[in-house]
Structure 1
Amino acid sequence: MTVALPFAGIDGCRGGWTVARWDGAQVFTLARVTHVHELFDAADPPRITAIDMPIGLPEHVGAGGRAPERLVRPLLGLRQSSVFSVPARAAVMAGVGPGDETSRYRAACAAALASSDPPRAVAKQCFHLFPKMAEVDHLLRSRPKLRARLVECHPEVAFWAMNGQAALDLPKKVKNRPYPPGLDLRLTLLGASGVPCDLLNAQTARALGAGLDDLIDAAACAVTAKRVAEGKALRFPDPPEADAFGLPVAIVA
């Protein structure tokens, strides 16, 4: 008998996406997909999915980015630097257009400077997320029925919610390397939220070609998906705003 896994969390990893699926109790799985649509094209798609990727791209960017970024940063204490400002749609699309990486990066920076006040170029780390941002944007614009089932999540905000709405005092990484005390703290919060954590280990991460932090973040997103289904999720802002194509603009936790 196949167990239904109605909740899913997705976190980007190198070359694809890490997917955590959960029944809300003892059944928890981890997998890797190349494209997000594969999850919804499967025979048993999740009912609610939370993804660590911006949904709803702005036409113009003011100081501090979109409303979701401005609202959640103050909640996170020392972790607020993990919430980057989402560039304008024109910058994202220029960054995935034709040409080599250098020319695409220059085009993205030019578009970002022209669509932000004060003018801001694009950080390289953010630029490398543009293909994934464009992938999610295309999926939700081409398949509107998914908009109610795929929500934007930020793992640090999800952990803030799991931690009694208190900022975590330990980072996941230090100098871009995994920080075991910070990972252990997040595993403890996931366990307290009911997630079976046996698969959240370095061996599983290696098998999936992802980092342990990717697995942990995907699991945090799955917890948020369950909260959405139960009507317990918090939205920043609430009600969500909408972008030029009607996509909801809110970070959910």
Structure 2
Amino acid sequence: MRVLGVAAGAAGWVGIAWEETVSAYHAPTIGELVDAADGPRVVAVAMPIGLPDRGHREADVRAAQALGAAVVIAPTRRALTAADRATAAAINRDLDGGAISKQAYDLRPRILEVDRWVRETPHEVVEAHPEVSFAALNGEPLVARKDTWAGARRRHKLLTRAGIHLPDDLGEPGRTATVADVIDAAILTWTARRVVDGEAYSLPEEPEIFDDGLPCAIWV
């Protein structure tokens, strides 16, 4: 059963598809990427799906608990649609109690792109968090960061052990995507396959539903 993991890269979207073998994709939009991936059964995306009206998403709280570390907190929907970061921070502080992080605000175009696309695509799409998935595969959170040699090698070994064999040559995507982007997309194929096989679980156990109507949970 073909599945697809998708991560946001510096110059577009990076996808790793997995069936019996691995294929890599790179495209400027997530829609084009998924279209190129030849009908995946489930798409796992490393981007928030379901934006809160106020407060924190329980999915982000549970992800932080699973990792024992801070994670990027998805801003409120009103904050993300603000014209600039200062306005976004003020809105988020009013609705959430905290300012919006630079990393979260910088992801604004990608978050809103996924927010639009997920309502239109015929594919089954789930939100996943690469480090939470790696922690589940490893049995505990990984200590070495993925942008270090030790961290990248450990993650590559875990992927191989799970049956996801990344070839040396990924074609054009391998020449444009960073190592971290490929690793993130690859582990999300593991999560997507678990969804297909009925082995995945969600954080929280019952997805939240905000005013946008999208089920909000991180799948592992």
Specify the TM-score bucket, using the shorter chain as the normaliser. Answer: over 0.9
| 2:53 match: secondary structure | coil
**Percent of residue pairs bearing the same amino acid type:** 34
Distance 1:247 1:44, change over 3 A: same
Matched, 1:108 2:77: no
Q: CA deviation at 1:145?
A: 4.3
- The size of the alignment, in residue pairs, is 220
Question: Could you tell me how far 1:45 is from its partner in structure 2?
Answer: 2.0
Q: Is 1:162 paired with 2:137?
A: yes
Give the deviation of 1:204 after TM superposition. Answer: 6.5
SS at match of 1:197: coil
Letter in 2 for 1:249: C
**Cα deviations across residues 109-165 of structure 1 (Å, max 9, x unaligned)?**
12212211xx21222121110100000111123x2744xx1100000011011113x
Preserved contact between residue 8 and residue 222 of structure 1 (Cα < 8 Å)? yes
Match of 1:175 in 2: none
TM-score normalized with structure 1 length: 0.81
Determine if the alignment matches structure 1 residue 123 to structure 2 residue 101: yes
TM-score by length of 2: 0.92
The residue aligned with 2:61 is 70
Cα distance in structure 1, aligned partners of 2:94 and 2:203: 27
- State the secondary structure of the residue aligned to 2:81: helix
The structure-2 alpha-carbon separation of the partners of 1:6 and 1:126, relative to structure 1 and needing over 3 Å to count, comes to same
8 Å Cα contact 2:159-2:187 kept in structure 1: yes
**Candidates 82, 92, 112, aligned match of 1:134:** 112
| Counterpart Cα distance in 1 of 2:93 and 2:128 | 27
Contact 1:205 1:212 in 2 (8 A): no
For the 8 Å contact 2:25–2:37, the answer to whether it is kept is no
Q: In the alignment, which of 35, 41, 45 is matched to residue 51 of structure 1?
A: 45
Q: Does the aligned pair in 1 maintain the 2:88–2:100 contact within 8 Å? A: yes
Rg comparison, structure with higher value: 1
Shift in alpha-carbon separation, 1:66–1:131, aligned structure 2, 3 A: same
RMSD of aligned Cα (Å)? 2.0
Query: Which of 8, 22, 25 is the matching residue for 1:28?
Result: 22
2:127 pairs with one of 152, 156, 159: 152
